[in-house]
Structure 1
Amino acid sequence: MFTRIVVASIAEDKSIPLILSGPSVDTGDAAAQAVSPSGKLTVVLRSVPGEKKKHFVEIWSESSILHLLETTAIHDDFYTDSTFGTLEWSRDETKIVYIAERKKSEDALEKYNYKPDWGETFTGRREPTLVVVNLENFEVKALAHLEGHMSPGQAIFSHDSNSLIFTGYNRDPQLYGIAYCQNRFTGLYQINTDGADLKTLTKDLKSARSPRLNKDGTTLIDIASGKVSTVVDYVRKADPKIGFPGLYIDQLPQQLWISSTKIIASSAHRTRRTLLSIDIESGAVEELTPASQYPGTTTLLFANEKWILTTYSTPTEPWALYLGQIDYGKGNSKVHFSILEQAKVEKAKAFYQPHSWSIMDKIPGQEESLEALYLEPFKRDGAAQQKSAVSGSKPPLVIFPHGGPHSALAAEFSVLNLVLVGLGFAVACVNFTGSLGFGQDNVEALVGRVGELDVKQCEAVRDYILSQGHVDTKRTCLTGGSHGGFIVAHLLKDPSWKAAVLRNPVMDIPALAGGTDNVPWGYAVNGLPYDMALPPTATLADPEVFKKLRASSPMEHVEKVVAPTLMMLGSGDRRVPPSQGISWWQARQNKIRQDKDEKHAKAVNRILMFDGTGHALDSIEAESHSTYALANFLVEFTRVDQP
């Protein structure tokens, strides 16, 4: 974990000049830290490696440590993720709550009992538990097992500091992967800080998370599906006048109240993320960062009655830290932002500056929800393009669909896109039907049509860009991961693609059932029912179900692929196990060996495996080398002078 101190002041003209920006400091073994409400104390959670890992809770005042509590005998690793992770002070600063893994039993009859974990990104994380530190008697207590039917996360203190409100993730009928899946069965619960009197707060809701109390403790909000008192309901279709598509938020920020009745949140809004003000009494929603002023992506970090702290970037501007003040108006509030700090990328400026970007939102003959973030080398004449890594008189085109499928690509800074455009490529990042930020009707329109509608729309984006005459029509290539890799593999039926790079792609949906942590996914995207209580492969016994799942899988037409392909897999992927990519790669290898057709005989079919890395390929080694390998592969097979 790294920390950094930034100091700013308010000038007479309300600008906020930066006074001091300290260096990033590695806090070593610290897992998390939080400042008390008064600002006088800081709690640090620390894990110290060794023959046996040790865990500590530290209470600091300024530069001095006041209390050091070893908790090794009470629990195992701390949780610091956004799903379960918690580190909160009570308002009276007498208690602290955090989430940690329940201590494993050393009993000879129990220690080998099978206990499922929470899947992708949570391998080995099985039983998160609430831990309360009482600073009046320095007792550290892991609360009861909560009846074994749920796992707690995102805990906050009640206004009187005597109880906890938290998200409970259902463990029944069985565990499925929680990462990237905000529609799992969850509820809000309340329990006393001594572990007594557990209550359910959301009995009529199937999914509720991110509890947040306002400052005076009178209002509790959360993200939910269903109705207790709905502030902002989902939007079927975006209003053509204001374009509000509904809320698309993974978790609510920890600090988001700007008054007792208003909150701030950032949400997907077509091909960008924007800042919204939400009145919890009237349900009125205001966009504080309209596209006319902030065409890129704004992400909220912190908000209170006086300040809003955000990050902001565009495809040509690296992330910057913004501090804003709200000017309240009647239905027309404005935020006056000042830039606190920008990313230091002086050495890379010459590489990333010469390109432009736009959002393609009107693709002829397609649904109005289809959009693409388009980047291309900026004002390059033929001579300049010839000097690029890919050469030629016009740039080659990369089509880049996102994963999910129910996620979205945003107009934000991306190192991968920067690298590709710097090498001379044009890039189109496609938000196809089913993407978030376009209304609920758009999300549901893809269900039952994966491998068909999403594929056709990527082809439509390619054809539209080629028709504009700015790119080389004979040099089009592909990249995508997860469901994006699924789309890429489908697109490869067309022999005109020059090359493709696939990252942890879904290739055979029926075969997923035996290895993924998210079995329901394949059924849901195909519009098929799935009984969450059944064993993963039970439903495949129905021949019609098997036929439907197989028909939507890229493995159905692997023999048609002739373009050079590079497969990049993570050996630790729990969401799309590497066997998916390996099986497709093996099928291609077999076709290459057996087929006498010249196109297949000369086919290139490579595969990379990153040990210990999960679905996102986000270890330092995997992220850096996969970017290099992807760029190098596409250059190899698209440059004009390639054999």
Structure 2
Amino acid sequence: MNKMSQLESIVNAYKTLSKIPTVLGGKLIRNGSKISSRWSVRNLDKGKSSRFLYNYVLNDSFNVIAESEFGIDISNELLSSISPQETFKAVIREEKDSKDAKKQYLEVWKKNNLVHSIDLTALDIHGDVYADAEFGSLHWSRDESSIVYVAERKLPKFESYVKRKGEDKPKMNGSGEALPKKGEEYLYRQDWGEQLVGKYLSVIVVCKLQTETCMVLEGLPEAWCPGQVRFSADGQSVVGVAWDTEPRRLGLMFCTNRPSYIFNLTLDGHMRKISNDGMAVRSPRFSPNGDLFWLQRTVGGPHHACHQLVMLGNGKTKTTTVIDIVQDELKIAGGDSFYGVYCAALPERCFCADGKRLLLSTPQKNEIRSYIVDVDGGRIVDISNKEMPCSTTVLDIKSDVILAACSNLTTPAQLYVARLPSAGNESSIKWVAVSSLCPIPAAVQSSRVQYMHLAHPPHDADVNSFSAILMLPKVEGKAPLVVWPHGGPHSGFVNAFSMEAALFAMLGLASIRVNYRGSIGRGDANVRCLLGHSGAYDVDDCLLALTTLLEGDNNTFDRNNLVLYGGSYGGFVTAHLAGLHPEMFKVMVLRNPLIDLATKGHYADNSDGCAVEAGFEFTEKGAVSEDQLLAMRRCSPLAHVHNVRAPTCLMLGSGDKRVPLFQGLEYARRLKANGVPTRIYMYDDNHSLSSLPAETDNLINGANWILDHLQS
């Protein structure tokens, strides 16, 4: 294949995959007889994804009897929420005015009537509304009279010490606002880092609809930054999560280990702290009975790890543990194995009708599994879709009807519904498909997906086993193989649809995605065993997965065309492999790779991870430890860069707060100095490179770089 036709094939494959929509969420309405689902699809000409609403009406057997004719564009909706009695729908909308200035509105709809529309920007009592997954919320009071949300605290106005102005004015201006503060216009303000840039200090806002008045709630400590708020049952207080900002903010995105508290704040400003000190908490949820549930783990340590599910009974003062931290494995109903809770949040609605059972979805080894949990006895039952190997994520529950999204590497996410069986019979659950599949490329649909469960011979390590997921397309002859460790490091690959994996399959590339030791979904001991062994356990696991494949079948994989592919910490592992085993790999693609723990820690938003992964307790007190700096350098791939021979393509984000771009630039400079073919792409994007222009370019150029060098 010549270069032009090769590139054309890659572009066409990407365009085909870009038309496949992704499930964002869904809501059950009318006791579960109607589904309002939210989707996203890449719009290449616009350079961003379009979000749309699509509705289904079901009969008692969950057959679709009516559905939307077309999707309804909701791309300018930041948040939306249907009221408890389904009387109203609230929407936070963002638009541009005639001068192209951003404006935000709170709208409340009753059927086809716009009953309230409030220009939040014009009110000028707070900054932008938070719509992210860490802080954002839009929640109704039970009586449907009020809405609570989170926004940026309004800053006072600042001015220079020497600004010339007219005659002296009174201390307050005519609007009642304080006059500008002098000399603070350049005062440094730290935000919450990666993908939360511009978020400094949040406030809780309650809107009373009858009078269309919005008020900022007071009463939290100045150093607390609140989010994830919701009304209590009586509507006289809100409950939420508050993160401590002192002595400084560490990045929140993908980091569940930050000091935080569950609090109750009355509308007249009386605050009560509910959770204990020394904990990192998230996702508070009220049951129909008024009991409060949330997820928690200890502060510090790995960025993500196993969580407890705890409960504070209505009227009680002491919490009880519903699901505890699972160190290795827990046998649950039906003899199934359960490895602990690793989800970032509980479903917005997660309780059955009587409030005695709770639903959650969490990574478990190679899949996302869904469970029903008895809140009193703690009995856990797997209710995942077992019709095919897949990941099952619960989206909503209403009147004991469950809505979920299911997908695997060969099948994009689709909506399923099921009726929750009675207590004790949950394993008999029957899932029914609701949505229709769009066309799937034959190369993806026909690919073979295999779980690999691997173990090292017994040695001194406490944990010796790990897993991997192989995706093998049908090709003529032997397939090139992409070795692909995940980022994190404390995250994991699951058998769910992936644009990148599908693209590789369409191009005839097999991929092995490695859940090395340190990954989530295999017990908390597995997560924590990597600490102090970064650059060792993870690298050894990738090598074992690779050699197991190559030794097991000489006719399937082309051992002369092995590819390294990884982003973030996955780039850390692949760069290690390229430096330690330069003779094995033909080509490498790195996206915002972590190259040197010793220098990343000085500038990254989550600098604590550098010390922790190297085996030290993170502290910025006292003298800088030269021993720690040396240990972090020695376990980093920069120590082996002089050995690398694989032509390397780096994709970097100029706005990356998690792994600052200079990590990749330094690596590239050294590769070039050593004569290694190297190319750098720089995107005006953050760590994820997920804006559509950045994604399009880096996936196409990365694939083209791989195919170019496999042919050489």
**Is TM > 0.5 for Structure 1 vs Structure 2?**
yes
Percent pairwise identity? 30
5 Å-filtered alignment, 1:46-195, equals 46-50=93-97, 51=99, 52-72=101-121, 73-108=124-159, 109=182, 110-144=184-218, 146-194=220-268
Task: Label 1:622 to 1:586 Cα distance change in 2 as closer, same or farther (>3 A).
Answer: same
Secondary structure of 1:572's counterpart equals coil
What does residue 211 of structure 1 align with? 284
Letter in 1 for 2:296: A
**Do residues 492 (structure 1) and 578 (structure 2) align?**
yes
Q: CA deviation at 1:204?
A: 4.0
What does residue 417 of structure 1 align with? 501
Contact 1:257-1:305 at 8 Å conserved across structures: no
**Gaps (5+ residues) in structure 2?**
1-49, 160-181, 299-309, 311-318
Contact 1:170-1:186 at 8 Å conserved across structures: yes
Q: Distance in 2 between matches of 1:326 and 1:440?
A: 30
What does residue 707 of structure 2 align with? 635
Letter in 1 for 2:190: P
Q: Distance in 2 between matches of 1:144 and 1:327?
A: 44
What does residue 407 of structure 1 align with? 491
CA displacement, residues 127-185 of structure 1 (integer Å, 9 cap, x when unaligned) = 11111001232210122272211111010101001100000111122101100001111
Secondary structure of 1:474's counterpart equals strand
Q: CA deviation at 1:266?
A: 0.4
CA displacement, residues 216-244 of structure 1 (integer Å, 9 cap, x when unaligned) = 32x10000126731110011111475221
Contact 2:593-2:663 at 8 Å conserved across structures: yes
Q: CA deviation at 1:368?
A: 6.0
**Do residues 353 (structure 1) and 445 (structure 2) align?**
yes
Q: CA deviation at 1:34?
A: 1.3
What does residue 302 of structure 1 align with? 396
Q: CA deviation at 1:416?
A: 0.9
Aligned residue pairs total 605
What does residue 656 of structure 2 align with? 573
What does residue 568 of structure 2 align with? 482
What does residue 377 of structure 1 align with? 473
5 Å-filtered alignment, 1:273-312, equals 273-289=368-384, 293-312=387-406
**Do residues 235 (structure 1) and 323 (structure 2) align?**
no
Q: Distance in 1 between matches of 2:75 and 2:698?
A: 27
What does residue 669 of structure 2 align with? 586
5 Å-filtered alignment, 1:604-643, equals 604-611=677-684, 613-638=685-710, 642-643=711-712
What does residue 527 of structure 2 align with? 443
**1 or 2 for the larger relative contact order (CA 8 Å, sep ≥6)?**
2
What does residue 517 of structure 2 align with? 433
What does residue 25 of structure 1 align with? 72
Q: Distance in 2 between matches of 1:3 and 1:398?
A: 34
Q: CA deviation at 1:48?
A: 2.8
Q: CA deviation at 1:482?
A: 0.6
Letter in 2 for 1:376: L
Q: Distance in 2 between matches of 1:204 and 1:400?
A: 39
1:521 corresponds to which of 609, 616, 630: 609
Q: Distance in 1 between matches of 2:566 and 2:144?
A: 48
Task: Label 1:326 to 1:139 Cα distance change in 2 as closer, same or farther (>3 A).
Answer: same
1:398 corresponds to which of 472, 475, 482: 482
Contact 1:364-1:464 at 8 Å conserved across structures: no
Secondary structure of 1:441's counterpart equals helix
Q: Distance in 1 between matches of 2:566 and 2:651?
A: 10
Q: Distance in 2 between matches of 1:235 and 1:37?
A: 35
Contact 1:205-1:224 at 8 Å conserved across structures: no
What does residue 225 of structure 1 align with? 297
Q: CA deviation at 1:622?
A: 1.1
Q: CA deviation at 1:477?
A: 1.0
Q: CA deviation at 1:75?
A: 1.4
**Do residues 318 (structure 1) and 412 (structure 2) align?**
yes
CA displacement, residues 407-436 of structure 1 (integer Å, 9 cap, x when unaligned) = 010011111111111211111000011110
Q: CA deviation at 1:36?
A: 1.1
Letter in 2 for 1:584: Y
Q: Distance in 2 between matches of 1:357 and 1:82?
A: 31
What does residue 472 of structure 1 align with? 558
CA displacement, residues 13-60 of structure 1 (integer Å, 9 cap, x when unaligned) = x34235213422223533222111121212121233244433322222
Q: Which structure has greater strand proportion?
A: 2
Contact 1:100-1:130 at 8 Å conserved across structures: yes
Contact 1:361-1:368 at 8 Å conserved across structures: no
Task: Label 1:31 to 1:15 Cα distance change in 2 as closer, same or farther (>3 A).
Answer: closer
Q: Distance in 1 between matches of 2:192 and 2:277?
A: 25
Contact 2:443-2:473 at 8 Å conserved across structures: no
Higher mean C-alpha displacement, 233-242 vs 295-304? 233-242
CA displacement, residues 301-331 of structure 1 (integer Å, 9 cap, x when unaligned) = 1113321111100111111111111122526
TM norm structure 2: 0.82
Q: Distance in 2 between matches of 1:309 and 1:268?
A: 18
